[in-house]
Amino acid sequence: MLRLVLILTLFLAVPARAQQEQIVAGMSQNRVAIDATFVGSEILVFGAVKRERPAPDSELGVVVVIEGPTQAITVRRKDRRFGIWINTDEVRVSNVPSFYAVATSGVFDDVVNEEANARRLVSIDEAIWILDRPDIADEQAFVDAVIRIREEADLYTLKESSIDLNQETLFSTAVQLPSNLVEGLYTARIYLTRNGNIVSDHISYVSVQKVGLERWLYNLAHDQPLWYGLLSLAIAIIAGYGASTAFRMFSRG
Amino acid sequence: MQIYLPIAEVSVNAFLLLGLGGLVGVLSGMFGVGGGFLMTPLLFMIGIPPAVAVATGTNQIVASSVSGVLAHLKRKTVDLKMGCVLLSGGLVGAAAGVQLFAYLRSIGQVDLLVTLSYVVFLGIIGTLMLIESVGALMRSRRMAAPKRKKHNWVHNLPIKSKFRTSGLYISVIPPVLVGFGVGVLSAIMGVGGGFIMVPAMIYILGMPTKVVVGTSLFQIIFVAAFTTLMHAWENHTVDIGLAVLLIVGGVIGAQVGARIGLRIKAEQTRILLALLVVGVCLNLAVGLLVEPKELYSIGTEG
């Protein structure tokens, strides 16, 4: 009897201690269609904290990370040689996210502590890393440059305190997607933190795809490049001839 | 009105592109240059990826050249025979240039070489044209009779042929070489090459300014069409959406430009073109000499 009670308490206690609180989340859309009039999009991420006992008395935080498909990139640095500025050093980096948006419910360092950030790769500087290069002394400068350039282009964003947290239970935020999106599967990670430690997470996906005419042209350009090229030329020649004829009639009449 | 470009993968204002096309079209019609040397840097500035800007620019050049050449054909200011001779060299040159471009890309530094060749060629040609056309303008002011061109080495080569429209009886070797050289450069620099072709025809071949513009446009059509096909085939970087907008603006601009070109004197046209060329050259040179705000750049692969 005692044994049974022990086992039962163990069963109930373990999951309860591991996940006192659980995050449940949803998104306004899991498919972004890029058509001819696409000017960017907005994804609404919302959810709630599910708990079976009263909330503990520690700082609650929510982090939303939306990450685009990774790319291989070459980062080049200019230096002055013979009086002109030319590319001298270059570093190839594989697996750089094409898009990276972080939204938090408070100041980032308060919501996610350093250890949790390093382990779960939450912030953008944790998500990009390059191999040691013996010939380049300051690899970190190249990583910093990637982040700086992409932040400037609104491809990497950190919006602190942009998540509304209601009564320690309900949360929502809107993440802006710019128009220069790379196609592919985007990952949405949602973390629940207590005192900066991640206590629960949720992951879902958003697919970004070209549709309609955009899709057709893109496929034609890649699958039938010769026909695509001839089509481009045909349009150019017809347009040129058409304009000339139209103008001639116009100036006569 | 924002529009999303399928290959460039960016969203840009459609009217901005129409305006750009129109502006470059006017210049194209006036001077007989394809306008690529202006269009390409302008497209960079509004955020079109360089590879797409270069490839789509050549497609737009086809359209504005067709439009421009028809206006010139009607006025019989195209030397078709000379155009074909130039073209035969031009196509071989463009094919060689595409290979050279691929080689430069494999050793890196292609951006630098493209910019440097712009600066060097625009600089030399612009300065020469400026000196020459200012001189010509002064002479015409003094009402002196224009000097008949002297015989130079160009006239002493074999395989001579008569180019009636240009009023020339010269060897076909110089035009073929000029065509070849311009073909190579146009493939490397992603332009039609009119800004090199026009002065080369005036100063090396001694063609009359009147037929130079139409003849240049005529051969540019084919070189640009060939380059567009190569880009579409090898790099998939021709954006039809972008091309259509630039073309619509460009063909209208080219017609307007051709009519403006008729109103102003040839010497004035040449001064304007020379100033334009020198201006673009200085702008690019400053970019090389002044420390850039952002030392780093990102290139995506694949």
Decide if B238 and A37 are in contact by the 8 Å CB cutoff: no
Domain match, A200 and A249 both: no
Q: Return the pLDDT at B14.
A: 87
Q: In whole angstroms, what separates CA B77 from the centre of its chain?
A: 18
How many Å apart are CA A64 and CA A46, to the nearest integer?
Answer: 10
Give the A window 70-89 contacts with B, CB below 8 Å: 71-80, 83-87
User: Which of A83, A145, A239 is closest, CB to CB, to B248?
Assistant: A239
Q: Are residues A20 and A110 in the same domain?
A: yes
User: Is residue A247 within 8 angstroms of chain B, CB to CB?
Assistant: yes
CB B193 within 8 A of CB B183: yes
**CB-CB: which of B60, B62, B74 is closest to A237?**
B62
Residue A252: what pLDDT?
64
The token pair at A91 is 């570093």
Distance CA A122, CA A115 (A): 10
pLDDT at A202: 92
Q: Are residues A232 and A169 in the same domain?
A: no
Contacts of B289 in chain A (CB under 8 A): 83-85
**Domain shared by A199 and A234, yes or no:** no
Answer whether residue A9 is part of any domain: no
Does residue A88 lie in a domain region? yes
Distance CA A228, CA B17 (A): 21
For B212, the 3-state DSSP assignment is: helix
* Predicted local distance difference test score (pLDDT) of residue A121: 84
Looking at the structure, tell me whether residues A64 and A130 fall in a common domain: yes
Taking one residue from A and the other from B, the number of pairs with CB-CB distance under 8 angstroms is 188
- Chain A residue with CA closest to B248: the answer is A239
**Residue B301 to residue B124: CA distance in whole angstroms:** 35
In angstroms, the separation between the Cα of residue B11 and the nearest Cα of chain A is 6
Contact of B65 with B78, CB cutoff 8 Å:
no
With CB atoms and an 8 Å threshold, state whether A36 touches B3.
Answer: yes
User: Which of B215, B245, B243, B213 is closest to B231 using CA atoms?
Assistant: B243
Q: What's the pLDDT at B25?
A: 81
Q: Which domain holds residue A93?
A: 16-210
Residues of chain B predicted below pLDDT 70: 32-34, 102, 105-111, 140-158, 190, 266-267, 300-302
Counting the structural domains of chain A, the total is: 2
**Is A239 close to B63, i.e. CB distance below 8 A?**
yes
Report the distance separating Cα B198 and Cα B188, nearest Å: 18
| Residue B146 confidence (pLDDT) | 45
Same domain, A99 and A218: no
Q: Does A230 reach chain B within 8 Å, measured CB to CB?
A: yes
Give me the interface pTM, i.e. the ipTM. Answer: 0.74
- Confirm whether A129 is domain-assigned: yes
Measured in angstroms, the CA of A250 and the nearest CA of chain B are apart by 11
Asked whether residue A142 is domain-assigned, the answer is yes
- Record: contact B63-A35, CB cut-off 8 A: no
Q: Are residues A118 and A60 in the same domain?
A: yes
The list of chain A residues with pLDDT below 50 reads: 13-17
Nearest chain B Cα to A39, which residue? B11
Query: Hey, are the CB atoms on A85 and B292 less than 8 Å from each other?
Result: yes
pLDDT tens for B19-78 read 988 888 887 777 766 677 778 777 877 878 777 887 888 888 888 788 778 878 888 888
B286 Cα to chain A: minimum distance (Å): 9
CB contact under 8 A, B64 and A146: no
Contact B298 A179 (CB under 8 A): no
C-alpha–C-alpha distance, residues B301 and B285, integer Å: 28
Contact across the interface for B297 and A149, Cβ inside 8 Å: yes
Instruction: Supply the pLDDT for residue B302.
Output: 44
- CATH code for the domain in which residue A124 is found: 2.60.40.3880
Q: Does one domain contain both A132 and A144?
A: yes
From A31's Cα to the closest Cα of chain B, the distance in A is 17
- The predicted structure's pLDDT at residue A174: 93
**Tens-place pLDDT, residues A15-72:** 444 567 889 998 998 888 888 888 888 999 999 998 888 878 888 889 999 999 988 8
With contact defined as beta carbons under 8 Å apart, do A173 and A157 qualify? Answer: no
Q: For residue A189, tell me if it sits in a domain.
A: yes
Whether residues A98 and A206 fall in one domain = yes
A2 lies in a domain? no
With an 8 Å Cβ cutoff, are A75 and B228 in contact?
no
Q: Is residue A7 part of a domain?
A: no
Tokens 């049974």 found at: A4
pLDDT at residue B144 in the model: 46
